[in-house]
Amino acid sequence: MAKPVNNTESQLMDKLVSLCKRRGFIFQSSEIYGGLNGAWDYGPLGVELLRNVKDEWWKNMTYREDIEGLDAAILMHPRVWEASGHVENFTDPMVDCKQCKSRYRLDILFEEISIKKQKDVLREIDPQRFQGQQKDEFISEQFKKISDSSPDAVIKVLSCPSCGNKGTFTDARKFNLMFKTFVGPVEDSGAVVYLRPETAQGIFVNFLNVQSSSRQKLPFGIAQIGKAFRNEINTKNFLFRTREFEQMEMQFFVKPGTDDKWFEYWREQRMQWFIDLGMKKDKLQWHQHAPDKLAHYAKDAFDIEYLFPFGWGEIEGIHNRTNFDLSRHEEYSGKTLKYFDEETKEKFTPFIIETSAGASRSLMAFLVNAYHEEEAPSAEGKMEQRIVMKFHPKLAPIKAAIFPLVNRDGMPEISKKIERELRPHLRVFYDDSGAVGRRYRRQDEVGTPYCITIDSQTLEDQTVTIRERDSMVQERVATDQLLSYFRTKFTFG
């Protein structure tokens, strides 16, 4: 039996990032030039894992009769972003340290202040009120209140976490997160376009195109996977907050009045999707946005959060966006986006329930969720450490590895034949170098769920050993039954 090994949170993150590089999941963008902050490249196994995450989402969403797919352009008419509110509202408050030039997103800077520092800040702002012993809950509540209502007063007495200097922050300024560029050769204001900061708007503006071409009736949804870009003030925590990332968004159009029911339905569906793909239930939680924190378009909003090594973080948002988006696009474009209900002969602007997941952020949660270090018995029965990525088999980049025990006695020929038979259906990996125990460990580290070993018994009875990654249980299967064996484990034609 395998025994788990405990790591501290920062050790775990360091080990995961290093494994991702070593085994070809994730590389730093432009690494040979020193890297580019907030951008990452997906290596051979990473791109496969990401594709599997996206495929599972795509199948789950669009293989239903009430959801259609879409792939809208990244560049859109600039008025789209005025209508959506992004030009005006897609801003984060930012401060700079005048001393060391470090830049911070104000709300995140405030969130990361320890209780002890919060106490110091409050005492400095209002010594009378905050003297003596006071409960931590009271302090953090008061700190939140004061930092929300008068952020500049807090900044003035705050020390910079990078250089330690006090009172060196600039006043907070608003910073728009959209990347700007220009269409055509002239870089003037009339040529400005934005790299989309979310995929949703491409769906809203195509609502009637999709509805009429697919002859869908309400309620129905439109799903899209694609790149989004945000000029985040601070990028950090590996893939969690990057400037270029992928989203998997679905907008579900419903009749007003039925929106609460569909909101609940999609909340449940989306949480279940993560659980079905192997996310540990105790690492998932809901976070409801408080009424004063709701986005300008939202009636209700819940985030699905995952417990990352650095704490809880949002991986998907489920929002009741009301009829805000369609109404705004009607207003700004002058074109109707109303739906005509054939049965009731009513014309109205649908409400929208949005499910908005980050593909790259979810992938990071799947990586963290999969990472295990264990003490496990070797082939000789000796306990040794193994790192094993316990991906759900549907997500695993490699589905099965094929090992000839030795490179003679006809074993490589049989192994190659098995490889030829399986390769059209499954992503397999052939490995004939080193002791079998080491080959197992290499596959454990990239999360391959099954290893097939061709040994001397194969020569006698045409069976092979299949070893399952997590339990390490081995069973013998006839070589001519391998395809049907894997058909029970994976779905393929």
Binding site for ligand ATP (CB under 6 A): 198, 230, 232, 241-242, 245, 247, 314-317, 356-358, 360-361
Between helices 44-62 and 359-370, what is the axis angle to 10°?
Answer: 110
Exposed (0-12), middle (13-18) or buried (19+): which is 446, by Cβ within 10 Å? Answer: buried
Least distance from ligand ATP to the Cβ atom of residue 19, Å? 20
- Nearer residue to ligand ATP within complex by CB, 356 or 465: 356
Find the Cα–Cα–Cα–Cα dihedral 389, 391, 394, 398, rounded to 10°: -10
Of 108 and 125, CB closest to ligand ATP:
108
Nearer to ligand ATP among residue 232 and residue 431 (C-beta): 232
Report the residue closest to ligand ATP, judged by CB: 358
Q: 337 or 363, CB closer to ligand ATP?
A: 363
426, HSE (Cβ side, Cα atoms, 13 Å): 31
Using the minimum distance from each CB to ligand ATP, give the nearer residue, 121 or 195. Answer: 195
Q: What's the CA gap between 376 and 180, in Å, rounded?
A: 53
Cβ of residue 198: shortest distance to ligand ATP, in angstroms? 6
Q: Which residues are 374's β-sheet partners?
A: 4, 386
Q: Which residues contact 166 (CB under 8 A, 6 or more apart)?
A: 157, 158, 159, 160
Minimum distance of ligand ATP from residue 316's CB (angstroms): 5
Helix (H, G, I), strand (E, B) or coil at 352: strand
Beta bridge partners of 169: 97
Q: How far is the CB of 395 from ligand ATP (least distance, A)?
A: 17
Q: How far is the CB of 35 from ligand ATP (least distance, A)?
A: 16
- Tokens 């050993």 locate to 465
State the minimum distance, in angstroms, from the CB of residue 315 to ligand ATP. 5
b (16+ CB within 10 A) / e for 92-112: bbbbbbeeeebebbbeebbee
End-to-end CA distance of the chain: 35
Nearer to ligand ATP, 46 or 358 (CB): 358
Q: How far is the CB of 92 from ligand ATP (least distance, A)?
A: 8
Nearer to ligand ATP, 241 or 399 (CB): 241
What ranges make up the beta strands (E) of 269-394? 284-288, 300-308, 311-322, 339-341, 346-348, 351-358, 371-377, 383-389
